[in-house]
Structure 1
Amino acid sequence: MNYQIREEAGFRYVDEGQGDVLLLLHGLFGALSNWDGVIQGFADRYRVVIPLMPIYEMPMREASLEGLVAFIEKFLAHKQLTDLTLLGNSLGGHLALLYSFKHPDQVQRLVLTGSSGLFENGMGGSFPKRGSYDYISERVAYTFYDPKVASKDLVDEVFEITSSIPKCMSIVGIAKSAQRNNVAKDLYKINVPTLLVWGLNDTITPAEVGYEFNRLIANSELHFIDKCCHAPMMEHPDRFNELLNNWLERHPVIDEQLLVGNREQTVGSFQ
């Protein structure tokens, strides 16, 4: 899909459409293109915003979930975005949860798909191995139920990333940070409507992880997509969009200013 990648104040991002803000967060080896189907399906009636997170450029001392949350905070402050619907895949889901814990007043709805935060098999149980194209090809294919989804372009992109020692060090630092950061004890804090979309055949965050998120997040609903692994929005974009669209329509964004105005009007009528 053709869309403009904007560059501004040190940020690279997609900002398409108008309406309620859907903020999309990609995973550890993710890219803006992971969300092509969502951009195509929702930019006609929502404002779809996707920051390219600096996973591979972060200094080692900042290569952590905390560093990435700080980046998201700076990006949102720069763009003056509020009343968010956060969508996160894999590590992006983990970041969406951490942001929601810190800024519950900014988040209206939450969508997690293949999220880390409880349990995950990173890269199929191992850290990226530099210099082996076959290994990287196998690990990328491991992310999908149908290995054909792991196109040569996608494999080439990941291979280029993992061929860089500094980028590999950042990846390992962030992956270890994610493994240390278990969110189970804090999930009771999530009280906004939450949609969980899981690949029934997910090998990285297996189906039981989706069930556990559903159990621990009070106002959540869980859907599985069959013959689907870790990135439902890429493997089954039409079904993912259908589930997302139906859920968004059932859980509209609440206009806080309108609510305050209605309360003041109601109070005034009794005075």
Structure 2
Amino acid sequence: MTDKLKTEGKFTYVEAGEGPVIIVLHGLMGALSNFESTFNHFSANGYKVLIPELPLYSMPLLKTNVKNLAGFLKEFMEFKKVEKTILLGNSLGGHISLYFTKHYPEKVSALVLTGSSGLYEKAMGDSFPKRGSYEYIEKKTKGVFYDPAIGTKEMVDDVFKIVNDRNSVIRTLAIAKSAIRHNMAKDLPAMKQPTCIIWGKQDTVTPPEVADGFHELMPNSSLFWIDKCGHAAMMEKPKEFNNYLHTWLLENNI
């Protein structure tokens, strides 16, 4: 997807399609390419899809937290003149979506959560591989998926680079601590937006009971399970993920 990247001012993003807007938010170790199948499917089927690069490693250290990442999303929406959006987030991206919805409910028409943090306090810290040998990083990266083959060498190389860069490590840990501080459990019952929860049954980062927790606390939610699938359903089982989401959007007239 790098060939589709646009950089305008402080924002780097991909964009395609026409129709109701879906803004996709990637995770802490995620990349825009993680959502390539979702991006292609929905931009070709009646939606405008935007995926911004989150400034995880470029914000001032004291501002590197969930609150300011939600502020970045608000600025991005203003820049793109988006009044209201469907927010789709994986892992940290889901957490940012929830925090944003708490503070700007009028700007969110629907939520889509997959492997989201925000409810399970270990979701961020325990999933972040500490420094170590390449073999250790490879094992941790591949362990995010039910099928280890999804964790490509390119992906392992990217994670290895991050965990061996002091600037990236400090910011990653700052975000992880911020995510734990900003537990959303008390806020979820007030979120009335239609919410689609799509979860891998074998997610070891945010286990299945986390999905059950979101479903129980969010008053207008639907929960869909994908078997033989880990923490990134949109990567590991893209067809099933897209089918569940597309059907849900149509059934809810979103």
What TM bracket, shorter-length normalisation? over 0.9
Does the 8 A contact of 2:124 with 2:176 survive in 1?
Answer: no
1:40 match: 40
AA aligned to 1:198 is W
Q: Is the Cα contact below 8 Å between 1:124 and 1:204 reproduced in 2?
A: no
1:241 corresponds in structure 2 to 242
Structure 2 segments unaligned to the other structure (5+ residues)? none
Instruction: Give the aligned CA root-mean-square deviation in angstroms.
Output: 1.5
Question: Is 2:197 the counterpart of 1:196?
Answer: yes
Give the equivalent residue in structure 2 for 1:89: 90
Counterpart Cα distance in 2 of 1:127 and 1:146: 19
The AA in structure 2 aligned to 1:21 is V
Do the aligned partners of 1:194 and 1:221 also contact (CA within 8 Å) in 2?
yes
> Where does residue 50 of structure 1 map in the other structure?
51
Q: How many residues align?
A: 253
User: What residue identity is the alignment partner of 2:23?
Assistant: L
Inter-CA distance 221–47: structure 2 relative to 1 (3 Å threshold): same
- Partner of 1:262 in structure 2? none
* Pairwise CA distance, 1:56: 1.6
Contact conserved, 2:117 with 2:123, CA < 8 A, in 1? no
Determine whether 1:136 maps to 2:137.
Answer: yes
- Other structure's SS at 1:57 match: coil
User: Please, which runs of 5 or more residues in structure 1 have no aligned partner?
Assistant: 254-271
Deviation, structure 1 residue 121: 3.8
- Aligned letter for 2:194? P
Classify 1:8/1:141 alpha carbon distance in 2 versus 1 (closer, same or farther; 3 Å). Answer: same
1:14 matched to 2:5? The reply is no
User: Partners in 2 of 1:6 and 1:85 — Cα distance?
Assistant: 21
Alignment CA distance shift 1:202-1:126 (3 Å):
closer
TM-score by length of 2: 0.96
Residues 112 and 195, structure 1, Cα contact 8 Å, conserved in 2: yes
Q: Is 1:4 the counterpart of 2:4 in the alignment?
A: yes
- Range moving further from structure 2, 128-137 or 166-175: 128-137
- Letter of the aligned partner of 2:30 in structure 1? G
User: Following the alignment from structure 1 to structure 2, what is the Cα–Cα distance between the partners of residues 109 and 126?
Assistant: 27
- Indicate the residue corresponding to 1:181 in structure 2: 182
Cα contact 1:38–1:241 (8 A) shared by 2: yes
SS across alignment from 1:15: strand
TM-score, normalised relative to structure 1: 0.90
SS in structure 1 opposite 2:187?
helix
Bigger mean CA deviation after superposition, 97-106 or 126-135:
126-135
Residue deviations 1:209-260 (CA, integer Å, cap 9, x gap): 101100000010101100001000000000000001100101123xxxxxxx
For residue 192 of structure 2, give the secondary structure of its aligned residue in structure 1.
coil
Instruction: Decide whether aligned partners of structure 1 residues 212 and 17 sit closer, same or farther in structure 2, where only a CA change above 3 A counts.
Output: same
Tell me which amino acid in the other structure corresponds to 2:35: W
Asked whether 1:113 is paired with 2:114, we answer yes
State the partner residue of 2:29: 29
Change (3 A) 1:113 1:126: closer
The 2-side partners of 1:111 and 1:127 are apart by 23
The answer to whether the 8 Å contact 2:89/2:114 transfers is yes
Q: Is the alpha carbon distance of 1:211 and 1:131 closer, same or farther for their aligned partners in structure 2, counting shifts above 3 Å? A: closer
Other-structure match for 1:267: none
Q: Which whole-Å deviations, capped at 9, do the CAs of 1:35-81 have from their partners, x for residues lacking one?
A: 00101211112111001001122221111111211111111111111
Question: Amino acid of the residue matched to residue 218 of structure 2?
Answer: I
Which stretch shifts more, 129-138 or 168-177? 129-138
Moved over 2 A (4+): 120-132
Q: What is the CA–CA distance in structure 1 between the aligned matches of 2:52 and 2:84, rounded to whole Å?
A: 17
Q: Secondary structure at the match of 1:184?
A: coil
> Larger radius of gyration, structure 1 or 2?
1
Structure 1 residue 82 displacement after superposition: 1.9
Question: Is the contact between residue 110 and residue 194 of structure 1 (CA under 8 Å) also seen in structure 2?
Answer: yes
Paired position in structure 2 for 1:217:
218
Task: Give distance in 2, aligned partners of 1:27 and 1:221.
Answer: 22
Instruction: Tell me, yes or no, if the aligned pair for 2:129 and 2:163 is still in contact at 8 Å.
Output: yes
Q: How far apart are residue 140 of structure 1 and its match?
A: 0.8
Alpha-carbon offset, residue 132 of structure 1: 2.2
Quick one: distance in 1 between partners of 2:87 and 2:107? 10
